[in-house]
Amino acid sequence: MVSLALLPLLLASPSALVAAWDKPTLFPDPAGLSVLDTGFRQMIPAPGVRYLNTEGWKDRMPRACAEEGESIQESGMMRCPLWNMDVFTVHYADVPDDVAWLFCRCRDADYSQQTMIDEFGRLPIAIRQRVRYVMSFKGLKFAGTSNNDLMLQEISPTVMLHEAAHCFDDNGSKSGTANYESAIAKDTCWADGYAQHQGENNNRADPWAQVLILRLYQTLVGPLPNVKDKDLGCLWNQLKVVSQQTDELIRAGQSGKFDYSKKRGYGEIGLRTDYATGFPNVGATSDMASKMRKLEEAATQIKHSVAPKKRTVGDSVSRLWRA
């Protein structure tokens, strides 16, 4: 039952919504923003690596990586049993010696350790430092963020930027502002099909992330390809807000003075053996045949006796799987 008092509002809103949200894309599918990957790679070199530490992580790992690795997939198998996960820290050459990022990489991931390191290193420092851990797994070309960790099955400059943008957004502190909301309302296009789809579903973090990618391209690479200036006007309001929110932070990050206060701290770190719930006897030093035997035993055990771990779908920012 709809009260009469509400009717004018209800009648007024659909047309207003259509006008505000039903609009075309600047970078249409199927390529979307991936047309920017070449420019990012050409103009932003991956920083060198000062020091790669693998030895120090043989027996230890973050709990978050262990939980992600041991999450049970639809196949009934773990995403990445811990004996198959490499943990390492990377000290990039463009930041002080004592600053490092922690990576967890499943050995069967589709992208190499070097690709992971290079593509993450390409991120501007201001964005990179808001990411806690970087994880990579084998899978169906998805990428997501959870608790400021990146979970990557696909790796490219724009995918890396999109996911890291959620960490840089600090739980919607930029995408969730009234300024950005009104910019969306004023603009006559979305950045791409993903921004459009998510935006139409009231998600603001994803359209914001895509506009940040466009703004970074403008400031770090050059004019956006395949887009005339007059066409760019359809996204002008969002670009302006994102520019006001982030240009200075990006510049400060590249200034050579590393802001330690903005570096995301680690969460719980523990012994691999303490976290290896499904594989109590499999340590990092066991031989491969023994590992495989135990993996099969454990997989059978999981299939028959352990209910699949529920993957929590949090709010739109905490876990966003990007198609």
DSSP for 6-42 reads: GHHHHHHHHHHHHHHH---EEE-TTTGGGGGHHHHHH
* 294 vs 322 by CB, closer to Zn ion: 322
* 149 vs 206 by CB, closer to Zn ion: 206
CA distances from 58 to 61, 119, 129, 292 (A): 8, 24, 24, 19
* 189 vs 317 by CB, closer to Zn ion: 317
Nearest to 37 by CA among 274, 182, 213: 213
Site track for Zn ion across 149-188, x = CB under 5 A? ----------------------------------------
Q: At its nearest, how many Å lie between Zn ion and the CB of residue 320?
A: 4
* 126 vs 150 by CB, closer to Zn ion: 150
* 40 vs 168 by CB, closer to Zn ion: 168
Q: Does 94 bind Zn ion (CB under 5 A)?
A: no
* 128 vs 162 by CB, closer to Zn ion: 162
Number of residues that bind Zn ion (CB under 5 A): 3
- The region of 90-98, 110-118, 173-181, 203-211 touching Zn ion under the rule CB under 5 A is 203-211
Nearest to 46 by CA among 135, 112, 108: 112
* 57 vs 168 by CB, closer to Zn ion: 168
Instruction: Please say whether the beta carbons of 80 and 69 come within 8 A.
Output: yes
Beta strands at 133-136 and 190-192: parallel, antiparallel or unpaired = unpaired
Choosing from 109, 131, 239, 320, the residue that interacts with Zn ion (CB under 5 A) is 320
Beta strands at 101-106 and 133-136: parallel, antiparallel or unpaired = parallel
Q: Report d(CA 278, CA 309) in Å as an integer.
A: 12
Q: At its nearest, how many Å lie between Zn ion and the CB of residue 18?
A: 25
- 3-class SS of residue 165: helix
Q: What are the structure tokens assigned to 75, written together?
A: 């196949």
Give residues 67-86 in contact with Zn ion (rule: CB under 5 A): none
Give me the residue whose beta carbon is nearest to Zn ion.
320
Choosing from 86, 94, 149, 206, the residue that interacts with Zn ion (CB under 5 A) is 206
- The region of 47-55, 59-67, 68-76, 315-323 touching Zn ion under the rule CB under 5 A is 315-323
Beta strands at 85-92 and 101-106: parallel, antiparallel or unpaired = antiparallel
Please report which residue ranges of the chain form alpha helices under DSSP H: 7-21, 37-43, 63-69, 113-121, 125-128, 157-168, 178-186, 193-200, 205-216, 229-232, 236-253, 272-275, 288-305
Choosing from 122, 130, 294, 322, the residue that interacts with Zn ion (CB under 5 A) is 322
Query: Using CB under 5 A as the criterion, which residues of the chain lie in contact with Zn ion when the complex forms?
Result: 206, 320, 322
